[in-house]
Amino acid sequence: MTPSLLLVVVVAMSVVAFWVGKGRSIAIVGGTRGIRQLHSLPGHYGLLTALWCGLPALLVIGLWLAFQDGLLLRLVSSHLPPEIRALPAAEFGLFVNDVRNVIAGNLPPAQVSPATAAAAAEYLELRRVARLALTGLVLAMGVVAALVVRGRIHPELRARNSVEIILEGLLFLCSLIAVLTTVGIILSVVFEASRFFGVVPVGEFLFGTRWSPQMAIRADQVGSSGAFGAVPLFAGTLLISAVAMVVAVPVGLFSAIYLAEYAPQRVRRLVKPLLEVLAGVPTVVYGFFAVVTVGPALRAWGEALGLDVAGESALAAGLVMGIMIIPFVSSLADDMITAVPQSLRDGAYALGATRSETIKQVVLRAALPGIVGGVLLAISRAIGETMIVVMAAGLAANLTANPLEAVTTVTVQIVTLLVGDQEFDSPKTLAAFALGLVLFVATLVLNVVALYVVRRYREQYD
* Interface with other proteins (CB under 8 A), residue from 181, 225, 354, 422: 354
Choices 4-12, 46-54, 162-170, 355-363; region in contact with other proteins by CB under 8 A: 355-363
- Of 260-299, binders to other proteins (CB under 8 A) are 265
Least distance to other proteins, CB of residue 352, Å: 4
* Interatomic CA distance for residues 360 and 420, integer angstroms: 53
Q: Residue 348, interface with other proteins (CB under 8 A)?
A: yes
Which among 260, 252, 273 has a CA at the least distance from the CA of 322? 252
> According to CB under 8 A, which one of 353, 396, 415, 418 is a site residue for other proteins?
353
Task: Tell me how many residues contact other proteins (CB under 8 A).
Answer: 20
Q: 146, 49 in Cβ contact below 8 A?
A: yes
366 binds other proteins (CB under 8 A): yes
| Residue 258 in the binding site for other proteins (CB under 8 A) | no
Residues 83 and 161: their CA atoms lie apart, in Å, by 60
Distance in Å, CB of 249 to other proteins, minimum: 21
Among 31, 280, 352, 420, binds other proteins (CB under 8 A): 352
Cα–Cα nearest to 412, from 388, 430, 429: 388
Q: How far apart are CA 41 and CA 172, in angstroms?
A: 24
Least separation, in Å, of the C-beta of 32 and other proteins?
49
How far apart (Å, rounded) are the C-alpha atoms in residues 254 and 372?
14
Strand ranges inside 223-293, DSSP E? 225-228
- Its sign, for the CA torsion 151, 153, 158, 159, is positive
d(CA 314, CA 184): 34
Q: How far apart are CA 438 and CA 411, in angstroms?
A: 11
Are residues 379 and 345 in contact, defined by beta-carbon separation less than 8 angstroms? no
Question: Going by C-beta distance under 8 Å and a sequence separation of 6 or more, which residues neighbour residue 301?
Answer: 309
Q: Name residues contacting other proteins, limited to 383-402 (CB under 8 A).
A: none
The neighbouring-strand residues paired with 110 are none
Among 133, 346, 401, 456, binds other proteins (CB under 8 A): 346
Binding of residue 125 to other proteins (CB under 8 A): no
Query: Given the complex with other proteins, which of 159 and 259 has the nearer CB atom?
Result: 259
Q: Which is nearer to other proteins, 126 or 353 (CB)?
A: 353
What is the footprint of other proteins within residues 326-345 (CB under 8 A)? 341, 343-345
Shortest distance (Å) from residue 228 CB to other proteins: 48
Out of 357, 419, 425, 452, which residue is the one contacting other proteins (CB under 8 A)?
357
Where does this chain bind other proteins (CB under 8 A)? 265, 341, 343-354, 357, 361-362, 365-366, 460
